[in-house]
Amino acid sequence: MMGEQASRRADEMAALQAGVDLGMTLIDTAEMYGDGAAEELIGEALGHRRDELFLVSKAYPHNASSDRLARSCEASLRRLGTDRLDLYLLHWRGSVPLAETVEAMQALKAAGKIRHWGVSNLDTDDMEELVDAGGDGCATDQILYNLTRRGAEQELMPWLAENGIPVMAYSPVEQGRLIGHSSLSEIARRIGATPAQVALAWTMRDGRVIAIPKAGSVDHVRDNRAAADLLLSDEDLAALDRAFPRPRVPTPLEML
């Protein structure tokens, strides 16, 4: 929801700039966010610092075809004020065959418009189909993953690890809803952190997950940055497992 309200624009631009100042240089966006308004905000706030950034954007499923993906990518590049994306993702699976999307992504890479490509919201069977369709160059699967959304730990995340594909976790604090959870608040008080910082640190606990929390203010950015330095003990992790147990049976991937 960044870039959608003029009254918040100055704060959002300051937040983006502060994040980069603090070393958080991966910026995730999509053509869907505000119908391109978020990309325009990023371009305005950080265009002069392009070489410091790792820019990620995502294409609508209906734009992921051989005749439409290049146009979508060019529109994103124009709004971001750059000549290339570091990572371009299929936002979720639609009706376009995965093989066609793979071919279109590889063409963009060959043309220098993107450095890497990947997917978002694809479950294990989709990922297997993607690889069979020639998508072994997929650089990531961006999924909904947090303390209350652990179903991917059963099958998808082990499959991704086995195939060398990193996970990007969106909504790692469940869009703020995790903050009010009593068990999380209790653990946070005990270790001298905020609930959001504990939730973020948990997501990044083993170094195999890239967390992409949203922050629309400088203070929020600073809080998020502190989470990267928070090391949870075995006792903390055990307490979180008790409070937020993962499903015991395979669970379909959820999405927001």
What is the set of domains in the chain, with CATH numbers? 6-243 (3.20.20.100)
Which position has the token pair 């993702």?
A: 89
Q: What is the pLDDT of residues 12-27, one digit of tens each?
A: 999 999 999 999 999 9
Contact 70, 42 (CB under 8 A): no
pLDDT the model gives residue 224: 96
pTM (2 d.p.): 0.96
- The contacts of residue 181 (CB under 8 Å, 6+ apart) are 147, 195, 243
Give residue 49's Cα distance to chain centre: 21
Instruction: Tell me how far apart the alpha carbons of residues 150 and 142 are, in angstroms, rounded to a whole number.
Output: 14
What is the arithmetic mean of pLDDT over 129-155? Answer: 97
215: which 2 tokens?
């922050």
Rounded percentage of the chain residues whose pLDDT exceeds 90: 96
What is the arithmetic mean of pLDDT over 35-47? Answer: 97
What is the arithmetic mean of pLDDT over 148-161? Answer: 97
What is the arithmetic mean of pLDDT over 130-140? Answer: 97
Confidence of residue 153 (pLDDT cuts 50, 70, 90): very high
pLDDT the model gives residue 195: 97
Confidence of residue 169 (pLDDT cuts 50, 70, 90): very high
Instruction: Tell me how far apart the alpha carbons of residues 9 and 2 are, in angstroms, rounded to a whole number.
Output: 8
Contact 61, 91 (CB under 8 A): yes
Q: Which among 33, 88, 145, 170 is annotated as catalytic?
A: 33
101: which 2 tokens?
């999307």
135: which 2 tokens?
């998508």
pLDDT the model gives residue 9: 97
What sections of the chain are H helices per DSSP?
A: 9-21, 37-46, 69-80, 98-110, 124-132, 156-162, 182-191, 195-203, 218-227, 234-243
pLDDT the model gives residue 250: 85
Contact 46, 14 (CB under 8 A): no
Average pLDDT, the chain: 96
What is the arithmetic mean of pLDDT over 173-199? Answer: 94
The residue type of 230 is L
Answer yes or no: is pLDDT of 127 > 90. yes
Strand partners, 142: 120, 168
Answer yes or no: is pLDDT of 139 > 90. yes
Q: What is the pLDDT of residues 64-123, one digit of tens each?
A: 999 999 999 999 999 999 999 999 999 999 999 999 999 999 999 999 999 999 999 999
Contact 127, 160 (CB under 8 A): yes
CA atoms within 13 A on the CB side of 183: 13
243: which 2 tokens?
């409070």
Contact 73, 113 (CB under 8 A): yes
What is the arithmetic mean of pLDDT over 145-153? Answer: 97
What is the total residue count of the chain? 256
What is the arithmetic mean of pLDDT over 172-190? Answer: 93
Q: What is the pLDDT of residues 235-250, one digit of tens each?
A: 999 999 999 999 988 8
The answer to whether residue 33 is catalytic is yes
Give buried/exposed letters for 73-101 (b at 16+ CB in 10 A, else e).
bebbbebbebebbbbbbbbbbeebebeeb
pLDDT the model gives residue 23: 97
Answer yes or no: is pLDDT of 1 > 90. no
pLDDT the model gives residue 188: 95
